Structure 1
Amino acid sequence: MNTSDSLYRLFHSAFHLIVRQMMYRTSHHHGGQGQLQILSFLDEQGAMKQKLLAGHLGIREASLSESLVKLEAQGLISRTKDETDRRVLSVAITETGRLFLSERTKHVTKEANDLFSPLTQEEQQQLETLMAKLVESWEAEAALDSEPRIRHSQRRGERHRGHHHE
């Protein structure tokens, strides 16, 4: 097996182990990654209109609304109607939301420390450099490849076309 194949298999295994651990750990805490993203954004940017928040986060308003209902029920955000247009809702993180976000951030930092604890500080820095290089390359490729599924299937079709037996 060549090095690229070995790296691919290791990435694949690592990805599935990390996802499984994240899902297990997230299920034991209130709110998923999307809700944490909403809280973080509101904490950094301040209160804003719900429609604007959906645009900034790149999610549909209906999906955002569903998450906001859950966050509001937990007391992590507040939604208030605009004085001039009662149909418009302004969303803000509450003090309870800030405390929750702070605790989750501490928890994520602990998880990251645990995850990389088998590596020395120097190895962690090397891995960070290598991963940043890969991610930058993959992001650039993704930006150029606006239709990855079509292009991937076209490549598969081209690869298999030469192997058909008539």
Structure 2
Amino acid sequence: MEERPSVLMSYLRVTQHMSQQFRAHFGKLNLTFPQALVLNVLGEEGPLPISVLAERTGSANSTVSGIVDRLERLGLARRERSEHDRRVIYVSATEQYRLLHQKAATDVSGYFNSLLDTMTPEDRAMVAEALYKLDNLLSTAERTVRLDGDGEAPQKR
């Protein structure tokens, strides 16, 4: 019987494969991975405040703000003040980004969807459910560490 790698090693390998595909795709657009990540979130979720964008990308507000500065200079993102609360500034992807994104030859989500389409519906559902559970577990652990401040993983009860 074939020995399976640990969950951690499988996770690391999958994220490495995904990162390579994202880098290849967005490299064609002359974007760094962090810039592409910010634009991808903006493209999927629409205009967002910097704080929400930072949360969605797992980055600090100051980091995302610097990335947005560079994206604005490239004409790929823009900041706009909220009409309802002038203190809130939203960031959005521009039409220039959308056109550039459409011209890219490799569609990352299409690539992964085509791979997943080779799996049975049951296996796809199992992978989706496992990733959902892992994401929730990691999010809970992050919140716990932030609250506890000790940097230790939560103990099993």
TM value normalised by structure 2:
0.59
Distance in 2 (CA, whole Å) between partners of 1:19 and 1:43 is 18
Letter aligned with residue 55 of structure 1: V
Unpaired stretches in structure 2, ≥5 consecutive residues: none
Distance in 1 (CA, whole Å) between partners of 2:110 and 2:126 is 22
Aligned equivalent of 2:152: 150
Greater helix proportion = 1
Aligned equivalent of 1:161: none
RCO (CA 8 Å, sep 6+): is it higher in 1 or 2?
2
Unpaired stretches in structure 1, ≥5 consecutive residues: 156-166
Aligned equivalent of 1:11: 10
In the alignment, is the contact (CA less than 8 A) between 1:39 and 1:101 conserved in 2?
A: no
Aligned equivalent of 1:55: 52
Aligned-pair identity (%): 19
Change (3 A) 1:126 1:108: same
The CA RMSD over aligned residues, in Å, is 4.3
2:68 matched to 1:68?
A: yes
Distance in 1 (CA, whole Å) between partners of 2:120 and 2:32 is 27
Change (3 A) 1:7 1:100: same
Aligned equivalent of 1:78: 78
Change (3 A) 1:87 1:100: same
Aligned equivalent of 2:134: 138
Larger Rg: 1
Deviations 1:78-113 (A, max 9, x none): 346789xx9975534321022123345962144325
Distance in 2 (CA, whole Å) between partners of 1:151 and 1:13 is 18
Change (3 A) 1:124 1:28: farther
Aligned equivalent of 1:96: 96
In the alignment, is the contact (CA less than 8 A) between 1:46 and 1:92 conserved in 2?
A: yes
Distance in 2 (CA, whole Å) between partners of 1:104 and 1:71 is 17
Shift of 1:75: 1.2
TM value normalised by structure 1:
0.56
Distance in 2 (CA, whole Å) between partners of 1:24 and 1:37 is 10
Shift of 1:22: 3.2
